[in-house]
Amino acid sequence: MQLVVAALSFVALGLSGAPASAQPRTPAQTQPQTQPQTAGQAVVRINEVESNGGTPGDWVELVNTGSAAADLSGWVVKDNDDSHTYPIAAGTSLPAGGYLALDVETSFGLGSSDSARLFGPGGTTLVDSYKWTTHATTTYGRCADGTGSFATTAAPTKGAPNSCAASWAAWPGAGTVTVADGSNVFGTNLSGLSFQDAGVLWAVKNGPGTLYRLVPDTGGKWRPDPAGGWASGKALNYRDGTGDLDAEGVTFTPDGLFVATERDNDDSDVSLPKIARFDTSSTAGALNATAEWNLTADLPAVDANSGLEGITWIPDTFLTGHGFRDEHTGAAYDPAAYPDHGSGLFFVGLEANGTVYAYALDRTGGGYHRVATFASGFPAVMELQFEPATGRLWAVCDNTCQGRSTTLGIDAQGRFAITARYNRPSGLSDYNNEGFAIAPQTACVSGRKPVVWSDDDNDGGHALRAGTLNCTP
């Protein structure tokens, strides 16, 4: 079957038994860096590379910056191993100004230190190549399309012009950051954070699994609540009373307090991504989960220490009011489709690939439905926080990404997409911050509200640091 991408149209191609996507659009033109391979007046080059966490996997995008269509029959894409080949199907034509995304993972995967190479018919003549030494936080793409040098893009744009404005804005608050706990109160392994209100901050430790109820002391620093049996935190167990939860994320919601855990520390070599609910009114010294949702079957297989990290909750009223699209049903999100899910959806971040997954959790029985999947903008995501006052979903990376953050909002297609990218505050060192929490709008003073970071490494004997965030974007 002949496969042709017609100008000004979008066609999904089955190339050598693998899917691809193409979109002819006119890319920006600048001075080429190297002499491209030409066929008549066609100029075909590698334009963008996704090597980690793509949809549906790794892909290589081509662009034709010439003035005539290019016949790509028999052309070959390889990585840095000559035995790894992705042949382009006979009859594939790339029009002038067109983009063609090849899903190479059907033939081979692209590594963190690898290359993408484009060969002419038969796979012997090298046309173009690009080499990298680590995965991009988004993708690597030419800026400008087809002619510029490769750089980390602002966002993946599979089969479309590259998003090249990958600049990171200054932190949208004060640059000053202060220590927010006493000396060595928590030690190492403090992870996720979540405000209940301006005077209560929840925190989890990933080993041993512990839940803390934090309140401010007379000096404004956070300490474990001395009342209610919370002075030393409370151990977290599974519903049957066993296990030691590797608690990485926590979120306080109208439906209860929920913890994201990546494994049982008593069996630390086995990945066990779960969401667990706990009753914070219990007077017991250790807490057993009141409900559990095991997401293992729905998530990619990952290393035991690279599973669920961040978790947050977004109310149905916000999602429906902003046209959120349900990928499970293929239509606008309708809460009634999930009658036992409560009043909102849970969003969890997977450390291994930086991807965010949204779930409707059945409150009884442990069932769930995945409603959406989208990129955080990072190769690894450590924390998620929904900011109700602004409608922003914050994704936070640790020192893997220089402590940067992205914000996401619901776009015109009903999907979460990146709206801004921020550097960490100038006064915050590049710590292993795995937790981040935003105080409610009621805490605003002079246009700013408190935020808190938690440092898994307890650098300098402190696990909590506080700063501010502008109350309006």
Q: For 301-334, how does the pLDDT look when each residue is reduced to its tens digit (9 = 90+)?
A: 999 999 999 999 999 999 999 999 999 999 999 9
CA dist 50 and 52 (Å) reads 6
Q: DSSP 3-state assignment of 420?
A: strand
Sorting pLDDT into bands at 50, 70 and 90, what band is 161? confident
In this predicted structure, what is the pLDDT of residue 446? 97
241 conformational bin, left if phi > 0, alpha if psi -120 to 50, beta if neither = left
In this predicted structure, what is the pLDDT of residue 40? 54
CA dist 410 and 402 (Å) reads 26
Sorting pLDDT into bands at 50, 70 and 90, what band is 287? very high
Sorting pLDDT into bands at 50, 70 and 90, what band is 209? very high
In this predicted structure, what is the pLDDT of residue 323? 98
In this predicted structure, what is the pLDDT of residue 378? 83
In this predicted structure, what is the pLDDT of residue 13? 31
Residue 194: strand pairing partners: 202
Exposure letters 404-428 (e unless 16+ CB within 10 A, then b): bbbbbebeeebbbebebbbebbeeb
Give the β-pairing of 464-470 and 245-253.
unpaired
Instruction: Judge whether residue 112 has pLDDT over 80.
Output: yes
Instruction: Name the average pLDDT for the chain.
Output: 90
Virtual torsion, Cα 129, 132, 136, 141, nearest 10 deg: -30
Angle at 156 between CA 358 and CA 397, to 5 degrees: 60
In this predicted structure, what is the pLDDT of residue 165? 61
Q: Is-contact 144 28, C-beta < 8 A? A: yes
CA dist 376 and 114 (Å) reads 23
Choose the weakest-confidence range: 24-33, 81-90, 143-152: 24-33
User: Averaged over 276-287, what is the pLDDT?
Assistant: 96
In this predicted structure, what is the pLDDT of residue 163? 81
Q: Is-contact 48 74, C-beta < 8 A? A: no
User: DSSP string spanning 100-154?
Assistant: EEE-GGGT----SSEEEEEE-TTS-SEEEEEEESS--SS-EEEESTTTSEEEE-S
Sorting pLDDT into bands at 50, 70 and 90, what band is 17? very low
CA dist 473 and 187 (Å) reads 34
Tokens of 40: 């008549």
Instruction: Judge whether residue 22 has pLDDT over 70.
Output: no
One-letter amino acid for residue 184 of the chain = N
In this predicted structure, what is the pLDDT of residue 461? 98
Helical H runs in 289-410? 316-321
Please list, in sequence order, all residues whose beta carbon lies within 8 angstroms of the beta carbon of residue 269, skipping any fewer than 6 positions away. 304
pLDDT in tens, 430-453: 999 999 999 999 999 999 999 999
CA dist 112 and 59 (Å) reads 14
CA dist 467 and 410 (Å) reads 27
In this predicted structure, what is the pLDDT of residue 38? 40
Question: Which residue shows structure tokens 């066990």?
Answer: 272
Instruction: Judge whether residue 192 has pLDDT over 50.
Output: yes
Please list, in sequence order, all residues whose beta carbon lies within 8 angstroms of the beta carbon of residue 298, skipping any fewer than 6 positions away. 357, 368, 370
CA dist 458 and 182 (Å) reads 11
Instruction: Judge whether residue 337 has pLDDT over 60.
Output: yes
In this predicted structure, what is the pLDDT of residue 353? 86
User: Averaged over 247-259, what is the pLDDT?
Assistant: 97
